[in-house]
Chains A and B, each alone.
Chain A
Amino acid sequence: MPAGAALLRGSVQVRHVDAGSCNGCEVEIGSAFGPVYDLERYGARLVASPRHADAVLVTGVVTRNMAEPLRRTVDAVPLPRVVIAVGDCARNCGVFAGAYGVVGAVADVVAVDGEVAGCPPRPEAIVEALRTLTGR
């Protein structure tokens, strides 16, 4: 975890970036914030702007068109910030490794602080990753 992550105890605002995902991870993130898993009760909330965010959830392999937007989004997040790569594609390109439109995994483009494994990861895994941040 980066320096200052202790500030995020109890309250983490999350911005989600789809860098080239098949939308499998999006469905799981959606259900992690839905009534069944209800991530909001642990103090995590999805927000509409990277300026409001503390954590960036990145899903999918980083495609050529999304490499620069991803860099800019992460730069727009005020410090201290946390970048979490969600899903196998974001961690190591998964089944899309070597495809022509793929720049690489998320760690090849921006500094990554945490990873959530799975294709797609179960909502429990996403909840667990964010709960280590909020500490609740």
Chain B
Amino acid sequence: MSLLGTLGGTLQVAVIVGGSPLLLGVMRQVRARMEGRRGAGVGQPWRDLRKLAGKEAITPRGTTEMFRAAPVLLVAMTLVVVVVAPFVTTDSAIPQIADLFVVVALLAHATVVLALAGIDTGTAFGGMGASRETTILALVEPTVLVAIFALSVPVGSTNLSAIVGSSLAHPAQAIAPGSLLAAVALIVVIVAETGRLPVDNPATHLELTMVHEAMVLEYAGPDLALIELGSAMRLSVYLGLLANLFLPWGIATEVGVLALLGGVVAFAVKVAVLGAVLALVEVFLAKVRLFRVPELLAGSFLLALLAVTSSYVLA
């Protein structure tokens, strides 16, 4: 555990926990402006969270410990990823865990926990949302693994810090065919996994079209605040991984006020720009039929597979 890694781990928690609701605010604001509305302001998700935290906690009749534990587990597992992944600094606070397989498994595990909580409520929509989420997860998971694996092939290590460090040392890697294919595959699965259009509509009010929202319909008050914060953090984590795996420039490589400040600013700008672009594209998209989603995700898996193949063949 190096000093740089420890500092990075601490900064990353502060930046992502504090900044992920703001990212959500920026994305909603971009969407509102594109639709000709004024929008509620960038700070609105934080105002929502503050209010939810002060509201009454409700445990619906018939729910078990799974329902109560899920929000805490969701935030906790995402926090581990936030601490170890290379977002602000190349070194990791706990290098053994900054591994491609561990990070992807933790992120997937958080989804599984939420799906179990959705089933636990025993409502029709909770179970339906959970079944849809696991369908999507089963297709997303291999794609994320294979896409990031394509990046790890030239590096010879599945450690995320090593991958980011190697991209910094060899900038030409960023435009290698394997890298570009993996980037496209990862973008598609990030859209699916974070519940954005065209796979899921985060602003829908119609239960029949919901995926993520349907699982959390029964949550209220502080539990809902945790889930919303956890979902926002997941979005930041995925966008941060996308940004730093393919465009790692600006990340802090040494201990120093300026280097760390630069790392924080570069990370915030990259994630904010990616989020704004995602929101911008969403305005022009309609949700695809649920039965078409597997085709979309199978396509992205194919791209990831080609990325790995080209990484081996063209290396």
Contacts and interface: CB of A to CB of B under 8 A. Distances in A.
Contacts of A131: none
Determine the main DSSP class of B at the interface with A. Answer: loop
B37 A10 contact: no
Contacts of A8: 51
B10 interface: no
A130 to B, nearest CB: 12
A51 interface: yes
B40 A41 contact: yes
Contact of B39 (A40, A54, A80): A40
Contacts of A51: 58, 60, 217-220, 224
Interface string B15-36: 0000000000000000010011
Interface string A64-107: 00000000000010111000000000000000000000000000
Given A10-B51, A40-B32, A41-B39, A52 B207 contact: no
Interface in B158-214: 204-207, 210, 213
Contacts of B220: 51-52, 78
A78 B37 contact: no
A52 B217 CA distance: 7
A43 interface: yes
B38 interface: yes
Contact of A43 (B32, B40, B219): B40
Which of B44, B51, B218 is packed against the most chain A CB atoms within 10 Å? B51
Interface of B: 32, 35-41, 44, 47-48, 50-51, 54-58, 60, 204-207, 210, 213, 217-221, 224
Interface of A: 7-11, 13, 35, 38, 40-43, 45-49, 51-52, 54, 76, 78-80
30 contacts: A7-B55, A8-B51, A10-B47, A11-B48, A13-B48, A38-B32, A38-B38, A40-B32, A40-B40, A41-B37, A41-B38, A41-B39, A43-B40, A43-B44, A43-B47, A45-B40, A46-B205, A48-B205, A48-B213, A48-B217, A49-B217, A51-B60, A51-B224, A52-B217, A52-B220, A78-B55, A78-B58, A79-B56, A80-B55, A80-B56
